[in-house]
């Protein structure tokens, strides 16, 4: 593609630059490509005003002739004009044939907002794509997050050669007969093995106070002047700019010496200094900057009359962005469930800066007495700086883990980092699948094209769910020594790959395929064509299992390489895991339940057949859940037999997951604990480990687990039992004597929706929340204790020791331990000996 630069064209020649994003400047009617050059830490902007006209494509793939006529007859086309109409040919995967469409290029992507309602509705039925940059990037062969250079005014991707180790592994692992898939896998390796550069960035945090008590300054009105702004940059920038106000004492500087504190008198000066800093960075990091910090800065700058062109912030509908770079609002990243669970192991629960930073980097906001608006200048600077610092550190800990993760996801999903950081996993997968369609010149189906009859779907085990899921087996309760856990690597993605599952292959249109029924379902499978989702998800699955799982085993890898591989592996895990779920989620644009239904059905068949095969080989299976089986053997030969069988008969990879010294199953599913050879304990599902349980119970539970981890042979259980008894008795005595601090008796339960949405039943944590004066929102964790009388609960802050309903805690202790002891063949009452717990609390007179 030919591009002209806004200025100083030569400086771009042959420099390796990372593509951050492509945006459309609707005002100037041109595309803006944002590049970053890591070596010199420079920002490059390309303004595309080439023959590729300012750009709008209506219709995701193009439009059919009916709609084209409609468009032409409408004289008025919003503020935009049709510039060019091109005939294009696409492949309709569902009908398995070619179709002709028209691609309309107009001079303003905002036309859709300007057209009349009848046309708007028509466009809606065509699912017009106003995400112009997706088309733009695809049309120009651009992938965000990878390196390009400009040679002779053309943007050329930088070629990276695969390392020798990589080539060796790919040669070993790839099947000779799957050429098409292999090509895809190699392409993934080339894409994902590109180096992950450090992205120069700065975090920003602002402090504003309203004059009125209890009124939080709103960013829309930006009514109050900003008092201070703090920055922490990847280039060691540490700075706080404070606007001096007469009423505040200057105070004493207790910040580290390398933090620069700059005083200014006017707000204008404060903002201009800030903008000058922002312009030096291609990436700015905030916590809630979309809704507050950047929005406030932008609106405030407008308000005090700073020229629009001198404000480097651009406000979008849902995000605040930099004109010259990207903005990552970490609040929106950490609220993403996939990031929370898969990338950060569910370490944090709430999504405030304080909650996330204390969980991930062990640092919290500065606490102080009284009102923040009364702090002295230096005290405020310290507070402000600390917020900016922890915001920055959330992107830098573990060697920039988060930034690297976002960059890798950006490469996989073909989505700019700023969008990756804001949008949910279904959007990543949408973007990835759309890109795949465009590359294959395939029509992206509309929701209406993907219809199915509800009767053909299996019925779910759980009421309220749409289809049947994984299979959980009854555990053989009791203690089992020497147990091996086998599990299928990426079961669902593997099924999608091996069984050719995709929206156009499950229940396909070919008559001759209708006999290829999936056992236990109504669905048949296409044997004539490869499904597009199957190939894509399959290739991702293969690159993870055949490549990134093997690479760390290679010798001689540098630390950087190891790190790259672990980050990529993590990102692949997140996306693979979600790709099956997205196909079964109604809001997903390529939602087609038969695929999800077929996936789990095949999964159930696979685990059932595997267990049968184990039994044929005299291997006792004591438990299984969805993709795993627990066998009572540590015999390597037997394990190898199973692995080979799975490989040959199922085309599935059955891995040795772990070996337990012993496992104890209760009679319940999803409830067990296992002790490994080195003494580490796995605890699954027990009430005692759940996060909402009071510490009083949890401490007792873990102390018992600790005793049990010391058990080597069956004889040791007696001893463990004794120790547990002594420990519980001690703890119960403390409870009885009111010597347990109230905090340790507190439950922590999250509001999953706004308080007023709890209609019908009112759960305890909601009752407690209502007793508080504070305004509790969705996502907040309510901390409360169980009390005698009243609502039966009180928020921790309002409770006193004499309120506590000790009997409730006694009951919980008993049920928690019964669940655990059940697996050992004991009961709580029995373990406590002749004295019943009740007698401890309420001795008979």
In the range 67-106, which residues lie near DNA by CB under 7 A?
none
> How near is the Cβ of 373 to DNA at its closest, in Å?
31
Query: Would you state the structure tokens that stand for residue 391, as one six-digit string?
Result: 């915001």
User: Would you say 6 or 318 has its CB closer to DNA?
Assistant: 318
User: Which among 213, 279, 205, 269 has a CA at the least distance from the CA of 243?
Assistant: 269
Residue selected from 753, 777, 801, 836 as contacting DNA according to rule CB under 7 A: 753
Is 628 a residue that touches DNA (CB under 7 A)? Answer: yes
> How near is the Cβ of 472 to DNA at its closest, in Å?
4
Pattern 755-794, DNA, x by CB under 7 A: ---xxxxxxxxxx-------------x----x-----x--
In angstroms, the Cα distances linking 733 to 688, 830, 836 are 19, 18, 13
User: Would you say 36 or 673 has its CB closer to DNA?
Assistant: 673
Pattern 198-237, DNA, x by CB under 7 A: ----------------------------------------
| Interior angle at CA 815, CA 813 and CA 816, nearest 5 | 65
> How near is the Cβ of 483 to DNA at its closest, in Å?
12
> How near is the Cβ of 743 to DNA at its closest, in Å?
17
Sequence-distant (6+) residues with CB within 8 A of 719 are none
- Tell me if residue 761 falls in helix, strand or coil: coil
User: Which among 17, 25, 104, 21 has a CA at the least distance from the CA of 60?
Assistant: 104
The helix (H) or strand (E) run that includes residue 60 is: none
User: Would you say 389 or 821 has its CB closer to DNA?
Assistant: 821
In the range 414-443, which residues lie near DNA by CB under 7 A?
422-427
| Interior angle at CA 263, CA 259 and CA 269, nearest 5 | 115
> How near is the Cβ of 90 to DNA at its closest, in Å?
27
User: Would you say 280 or 466 has its CB closer to DNA?
Assistant: 466
In the range 331-370, which residues lie near DNA by CB under 7 A?
336-338, 341-342, 346
User: Would you say 562 or 815 has its CB closer to DNA?
Assistant: 815
User: Would you say 134 or 487 has its CB closer to DNA?
Assistant: 487
- Tell me if residue 91 falls in helix, strand or coil: strand
Rounded-to-integer distance, Cα 97 and Cα 442, Å? 10
Query: Would you state the structure tokens that stand for residue 466, as one six-digit string?
Result: 């749409």
In the range 9-38, which residues lie near DNA by CB under 7 A?
none
User: Would you say 54 or 538 has its CB closer to DNA?
Assistant: 538
Rounded-to-integer distance, Cα 341 and Cα 349, Å? 10
User: Would you say 209 or 428 has its CB closer to DNA?
Assistant: 428
How many residues touch DNA under the rule CB under 7 A: the total is: 80
> How near is the Cβ of 183 to DNA at its closest, in Å?
28
User: Would you say 543 or 766 has its CB closer to DNA?
Assistant: 766
Q: Which stretch binds DNA (CB under 7 A): 207-215, 358-366, 548-556, 576-584?
A: 576-584
| Interior angle at CA 46, CA 43 and CA 48, nearest 5 | 165
> How near is the Cβ of 425 to DNA at its closest, in Å?
4
> How near is the Cβ of 784 to DNA at its closest, in Å?
11
Q: Is 174 left (phi over 0), alpha (psi -120 to 50) or beta?
A: beta
- Locus of tokens 């920002």: 43
User: Would you say 255 or 656 has its CB closer to DNA?
Assistant: 656
> How near is the Cβ of 682 to DNA at its closest, in Å?
8
Beta bridge partners of 57: 105
Pattern 169-188, DNA, x by CB under 7 A: --------------------
In the range 661-700, which residues lie near DNA by CB under 7 A?
668-671, 683-685, 687, 689-692
> How near is the Cβ of 501 to DNA at its closest, in Å?
15
| Interior angle at CA 744, CA 798 and CA 826, nearest 5 | 135
The string of DSSP codes covering 191-260 is HHTS--PPPPEEEEEEEE--SSTT-PPPTTTT-SPEEEEEEEETTS-EEEEEE--TTS------S-TTSE
- Locus of tokens 């060019």: 84
Rounded-to-integer distance, Cα 499 and Cα 603, Å? 11
Query: Would you state the structure tokens that stand for residue 308, as one six-digit string?
Result: 């629009």
Task: Sheet containing 747-750: give its strands across.
Answer: 747-750, 781-786, 793-795
Burial zone of 267 (CB within 10 Å; 0-12 exposed, 13-18 middle, 19+ buried)? middle
In the range 579-618, which residues lie near DNA by CB under 7 A?
580-582, 584-588, 596, 600
Residue selected from 97, 246, 451, 463 as contacting DNA according to rule CB under 7 A: 463
Q: Which stretch binds DNA (CB under 7 A): 177-185, 276-284, 795-803, 810-818?
A: 810-818
Q: Which stretch binds DNA (CB under 7 A): 96-104, 169-177, 244-252, 330-338?
A: 330-338
Query: Helix/strand/coil (H, E, C) string of 464-477?
Result: CCCCCCCCECCCCC
Pattern 379-418, DNA, x by CB under 7 A: ----------------------------------------
Residue selected from 466, 638, 744, 806 as contacting DNA according to rule CB under 7 A: 466
User: Would you say 108 or 458 has its CB closer to DNA?
Assistant: 458
Residue selected from 465, 733, 800, 801 as contacting DNA according to rule CB under 7 A: 465
User: Would you say 325 or 674 has its CB closer to DNA?
Assistant: 674
Is 318 a residue that touches DNA (CB under 7 A)? Answer: yes
Given a contact cutoff of 8 angstroms between Cβ atoms, the answer to whether 289 and 320 are in contact is: yes
Residue selected from 130, 676, 695, 750 as contacting DNA according to rule CB under 7 A: 750
Residue selected from 625, 653, 707, 810 as contacting DNA according to rule CB under 7 A: 625
Sequence-distant (6+) residues with CB within 8 A of 31 are 22, 23, 24, 25, 47, 48, 54, 55, 133, 136
Pattern 37-66, DNA, x by CB under 7 A: ------------------------------
In angstroms, the Cα distances linking 330 to 203, 351, 394, 654 are 10, 10, 8, 38
Is 134 a residue that touches DNA (CB under 7 A)? Answer: no
Give the burial string for 791-803 (b: 16+ CB within 10 Å, else e): eebbbbeebeeeb
In the range 483-502, which residues lie near DNA by CB under 7 A?
487
- Tell me if residue 731 falls in helix, strand or coil: helix
Residue selected from 372, 472, 676, 734 as contacting DNA according to rule CB under 7 A: 472
Residue selected from 748, 783, 787, 823 as contacting DNA according to rule CB under 7 A: 748
User: Would you say 324 or 422 has its CB closer to DNA?
Assistant: 422
In the range 813-842, which residues lie near DNA by CB under 7 A?
815-816, 819
The string of DSSP codes covering 278-298 is HTT-SEEEESSIIIIIHHHHH
């Amino acid at each position: 593609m030919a591009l002209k630069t806004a200025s100083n064209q030569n400086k771009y020649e042959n420099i390796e630059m990372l593509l951050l994003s492509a945006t459309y400047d609707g005002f100037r009617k041109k595309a803006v490509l944002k590049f970053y050059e890591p070596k010199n830490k420079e920002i490059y902007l390309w303004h595309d005003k080439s023959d590729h006209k300012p750009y709008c494509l209506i219709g995701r793939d193009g439009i059919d002739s009916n709609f084209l006529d409609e468009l032409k007859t409408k004289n008025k086309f919003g503020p935009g004009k049709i510039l060019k109409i091109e005939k294009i040919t696409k492949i309709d995967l569902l009908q398995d044939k070619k179709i002709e469409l028209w691609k309309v290029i107009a001079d303003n992507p905002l036309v859709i907002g300007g057209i009349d309602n009848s046309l708007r509705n028509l466009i809606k039925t065509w699912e017009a794509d106003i995400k112009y940059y997706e088309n733009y990037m695809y049309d120009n062969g651009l992938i965000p997050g990878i390196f390009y250079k400009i040679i002779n005014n053309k943007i050329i991707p930088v070629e990276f050669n695969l390392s020798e180790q990589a080539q060796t592994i790919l040669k070993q692992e790839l099947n000779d007969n799957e050429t098409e898939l292999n090509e895809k896998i190699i392409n993934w390796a080339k894409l994902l093995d590109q180096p992950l550069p450090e992205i120069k960035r700065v975090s920003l945090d602002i402090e504003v106070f309203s004059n009125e008590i209890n009124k939080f300054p709103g960013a829309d009105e930006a009514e109050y002047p900003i008092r201070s702004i703090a920055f922490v940059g990847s280039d060691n920038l540490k700075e706080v700019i404070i606007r001096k106000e007469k009423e505040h004492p200057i105070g004493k500087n207790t910040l580290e010496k390398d933090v620069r504190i700059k005083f200014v008198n006017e707000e204008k000066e404060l903002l201009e200094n800030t903008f000058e800093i922002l312009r030096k960075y291609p990436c700015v990091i905030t916590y809630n900057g979309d809704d507050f910090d950047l929005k406030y800065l932008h609106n405030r700058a407008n308000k005090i009359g700073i020229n629009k062109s001198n404000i480097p912030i651009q406000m979008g509908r849902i995000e605040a962005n930099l004109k010259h770079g990207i903005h990552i609002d970490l609040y929106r990243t950490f609220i993403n469930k996939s990031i929370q669970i898969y990338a950060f192991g569910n370490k944090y629960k709430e999504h405030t800066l304080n909650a996330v930073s204390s969980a991930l980097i062990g640092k919290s906001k500065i606490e102080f007495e009284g009102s923040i608006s009364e702090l002295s200048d230096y005290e405020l600077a310290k507070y402000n700086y600390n917020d900016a610092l922890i915001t920055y550190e959330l992107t830098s800990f573990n060697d920039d883990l988060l930034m690297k993760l976002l960059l890798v996801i950006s490469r996989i999903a073909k989505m700019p980092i700023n969008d990756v950081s804001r949008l949910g996993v279904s959007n990543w997968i949408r973007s990835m699948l759309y890109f795949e369609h465009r590359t294959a010149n395939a029509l992206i189906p509309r929701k209406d094209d993907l219809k199915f009859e509800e009767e053909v779907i299996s019925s779910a085990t759980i009421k309220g769910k749409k289809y049947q899921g994984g299979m959980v087996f009854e555990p053989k309760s009791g203690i089992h020594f020497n147990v091996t856990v086998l599990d299928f690597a990426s079961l669902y993605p593997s099924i999608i790959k091996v069984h050719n599952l995709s929206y156009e292959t499950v229940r396909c249109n070919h008559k001759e395929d209708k006999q290829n029924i999936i056992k236990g379902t109504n669905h048949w499978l296409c044997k004539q064509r490869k499904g597009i989702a199957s190939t894509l998800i399959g290739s991702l699955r293969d690159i993870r299992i055949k490549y990134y799982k093997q690479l760390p085993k290679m010798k001689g890898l540098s630390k950087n390489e190891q790190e790259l591989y672990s980050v990529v592996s993590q990102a692949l895990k997140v996306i693979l895991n979600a790709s099956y779920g997205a196909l079964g989620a109604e809001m997903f644009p390529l939602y087609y339940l038969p695929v999800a239904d077929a996936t789990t059905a095949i999964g159930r068949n696979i685990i059932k057949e595997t267990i049968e095969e184990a039994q044929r080989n005299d291997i006792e299976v004591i438990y299984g859940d969805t993709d795993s089986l627990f066998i009572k053997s540590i015999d390597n030969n037997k394990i190898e037999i199973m692995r080979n069988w799975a490989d040959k008969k199922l085309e599935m990879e059955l891995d040795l997951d772990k070996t337990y010294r012993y496992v104890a199953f209760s009679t319940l599913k999803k409830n067990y604990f296992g002790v490994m050879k080195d003494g580490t304990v796995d605890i699954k599902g027990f009430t005692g480990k759940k996060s909402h349980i009071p510490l009083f119970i949890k401490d007792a539970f873990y102390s018992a687990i600790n005793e049990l981890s010391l058990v080597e042979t069956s004889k040791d259980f007696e001893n463990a039992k004794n120790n547990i008894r002594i420990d519980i008795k001690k703890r119960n005595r403390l409870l009885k004597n009111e010597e347990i601090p109230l905090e340790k008796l507190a439950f922590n339960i999250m509001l999953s929706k706004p308080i007023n949405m709890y209609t019908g039943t009112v759960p305890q944590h909601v009752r407690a929340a209502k007793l508080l004066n504070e305004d509790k929102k969705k996502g907040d964790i309510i901390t409360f204790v169980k009390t005698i009388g009243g609502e039966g609960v009180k928020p921790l802050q309002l409770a006193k020791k004499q309120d506590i309903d000790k009997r409730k805690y006694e009951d919980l202790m008993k049920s928690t331990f019964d669940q655990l002891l059940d697996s050992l063949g004991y009961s709580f009452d029995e373990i406590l000996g002749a004295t019943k717990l009740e007698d401890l609390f309420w001795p008979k007179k």
